[in-house]
Amino acid sequence: MISYRQNGSGLPVVLLHGFCENQSLWDDLLPQWAQHGRIITVDLPGFGNSAPLAQGFGIEEVAASIHDFLTREISLTEYVVLGHSLGGYVSLALAANFPDYVGAFGLINSTSLADSEEKKAQRLKTAAFIRQHGVAAFSENFVPNLFAPENRQRLADKLALVRQMTHGLDKEVVAGYMLAMRQRPGRMDVFRQNKPVMFVAGLQDPHISHTDIELHLNGMHNKKLGYALPGVAHMSMYEAPDKLNEAFMALISLVKS
């Protein structure tokens, strides 16, 4: 079962949250975005109120479950998909595996590159830590580091909100996603395909290097849809909502033209 909400009408736009988050991530932006399309927010399997997948799942299985829900349960024949972080990996898998359905997509604080060997080793250690100590212990340091240091006090309420999203999560689900992200393939070829693609990155993001950001920006067909945001880490919907809204409007305007 996939938990979801719909707001607005017209062009279907699917929003996918990131790791240890849920669909409430988008609540601040929904009133504005729903004026320009049928905005569909979902909880990824095992997060929020969505049922988990069987253990051993990968990003491909997550994407297939979302696509099955979108096409069978709410009868979409084409959609735009925007993903934050982990949701960006799922968006890329949707674009790769169901290209006739995905008319455009966007990566928000995400990457199309596979993990480096160093990152893969780090993810193994993190999965082991989560299984041994639980999600609460993991989130204690994980959540603050999603925000740029100078934003943490200013956005203390948003930081608390993200921390709350992690409450009650199953440690096996969270560890399973960590391993799924580790195993995902690189998809720069999908990112560079000739369809509308949005890319929004934070220049203080500890998870995406400046080199990786530059590689993505240089590889875009339409560079007007690429944003590298100063003073922003991993949470552009909170740290720079006006800029994220600008990127959204640029993409939607292009898709509708």
Model pLDDT, residue 128: 97
Model pLDDT, residue 78: 97
DSSP-H helix ranges across 184-240:
188-191, 210-218, 236-239
Model pLDDT, residue 193: 87
pLDDT, tens only, 196-255: 999 999 999 999 999 999 999 999 999 999 999 999 999 999 999 999 999 999 999 999
Strand segments, DSSP code E, in the chain are 4-7, 12-16, 38-42, 79-84, 102-108, 197-202, 226-229
Residue 56 lies in a domain: yes
Model pLDDT, residue 194: 82
Residue 224 lies in a domain: yes
Q: How far apart are CA 207 and CA 222, in angstroms?
A: 24
Q: Which two tokens stand for residue 244?
A: 């994220």
SS3 content of the chain, % helix, strand, coil (to 5): 50, 15, 35
pTM of the model: 0.97
Supply the DSSP string of 163-175, one letter for each residue.
HHHTTT--HHHHH
Beta bridge partners of 102: 79
Residue 31 lies in a domain: yes
Model pLDDT, residue 67: 98
Looking at residue 37, its amino acid is G
Where the chain has pLDDT below 70, the residues are: none
CATH code where residue 53 lies: 3.40.50.1820
Residue 106 lies in a domain: yes
Residue 129 lies in a domain: no
- Residue-number span of the structural domain to which 250 is assigned: 4-113+185-256
Number of domains the chain contains: 1
Residue 167 lies in a domain: no
Nearest to 49 by CA among 25, 22, 76, 68: 22
Residue 223 lies in a domain: yes
Model pLDDT, residue 99: 96
Q: How far apart are CA 68 and CA 139, in angstroms?
A: 31
Q: Which two tokens stand for residue 79?
A: 């959609």
Residue 125 lies in a domain: no
